[in-house]
Amino acid sequence: AKDAGRDQVCFFDPAMQTEVLERAMLLRDLRQALDNDEFCLFYQPVVDGQQRILGVEALIRWQHPQLGMVSPATFIPLAEDCGLILSIGQWVLKTACLQLASWAQDPERADWHIAVNVSARQLNQDDFVDQVAAIIDSTGACAARLRMELTESMLQENLPRTISKMRILRQMGIRFSLDDFGTGYSSFSYLQRLPMDQLKIDKSFIDHVLTDANDAAIAGTIVALGRTLGLGVVAEGVETVEQMRFLVDSGCQVFQGYLFGRPVEAAALGRSRQVLAAS
C-alpha cells in the first residue's frame, strides 16, 4: 500500500505545500495580531503643487514577531478572506481618528486630513455608518478631516445601498476618494451616480507616464474627467520631479509619492519638502 502512490500524480508539490503552510501560519498569527498590538499605522503625505502637506493616507503595517514587517498587500487579502478585516478595519478607523483628534491640538497639523482605505466587507456591513459615527464620537475627531478611499470593484455590489451609506457619511462631513482609479471598470454615468469627492490616479499609470503615451493619455484624461465632474484628482506613486512636472502640466494639483515622502510613523512626518524650485 505504501508503494501504491509511487507512480501516481504527486499531489503534494513541495513548493505548493510550503505556500499553503505559510498561509495557514500567517492566518493563525493574524488572528493574534490585534490582541498582541502588532499593527501600527504609517502615514504618507499628500501635497499640493507647492509641496505643502494637505493631509496623509493611513497605511497599515504589521510588525510580525518573527517575520518582521509584513506587507499589507500580503495580509489584507488574507484578512478579507477570513473576515478579520472587520475588526482590523475598525482598529484602523479608530487609530486614525485618535490621530486626527491629537493633530487638532497642533496648529501645524490641525487642518490635515487622514484618508483611510476601506474594504468592501467593511463597507457592506449593515451597521457600518453607526460604527463610524461611534468612533468619531468616542475619539472626538473632526469628521470633516476624515476621508475614505474606496475602489471601483467594491462598488459593484448593491450600489444603491452603498450610495445611501455614503450620503449619510458625507452629511457627517466625511469625504470619499475613488482609489486605484483607471484600473477597474467604470463608465461615465456610473461615476456620476457616486457621491465621490476625489479620484486617485493609480500608481501603475504614473510609473510610465513619461515613457508610455497610453499611460500619459490616461493620466491626462483622468485629470480632465475630474474637472468635468467637479472632482479633485490626486496622482499616487509620484517618484520623480519629471513625473511631477508632467502632472502639473496636465492640470493635476494634488500629489502623493516617495518624491514627497514615504509612509512613516506619525512622529516622523516632517514639514513639507520643497522638491521643485519655485518658478
Farthest-apart Cα atoms in the chain, separation: 81
- The residues of the shown chain that bind Ca ion, judged by CB under 5 A, are 117, 149, 179-180, 202
**Which residue number, 171 or 273, has a Cβ lying nearer to ligand C2E?**
273
Helix (H) or strand (E) segment spanning residue 57: strand 53-64
> Which residue of 30, 33, 56, 59 would you call a contact of ligand C2E, by CB under 6 A?
59
Q: Any contact of residue 45 with ligand C2E (CB under 6 A)?
A: no
Contact positions with ligand C2E (CB under 6 A) in 182-211: 203
> Which residue of 17, 71, 158, 164 would you call a contact of ligand C2E, by CB under 6 A?
71
Q: How many Cβ atoms from other residues are within 10 Å of residue 5's Cβ?
A: 11
**Which residue number, 73 or 267, has a Cβ lying nearer to ligand C2E?**
73
Q: Any contact of residue 243 with ligand C2E (CB under 6 A)?
A: no
CB neighbour list of residue 125: distance below 8 Å, 6 or more residues apart: 86, 131
Contacting range for ligand C2E; rule: CB under 6 A; set: 71-79, 102-110, 123-131, 163-171 = 71-79
Nearest to 276 by CA among 255, 264, 44: 255
**Which residue number, 110 or 268, has a Cβ lying nearer to ligand C2E?**
268
CA distance 52 to 199: 19
Cβ-contact 123, 165 below 8 angstroms: yes
Helix (H) or strand (E) segment spanning residue 33: helix 14-33
Interacting residues with ligand C2E (CB under 6 A): 44, 59-60, 71-73, 76, 92, 117, 119, 149, 179-180, 203, 236-239, 256-258, 263
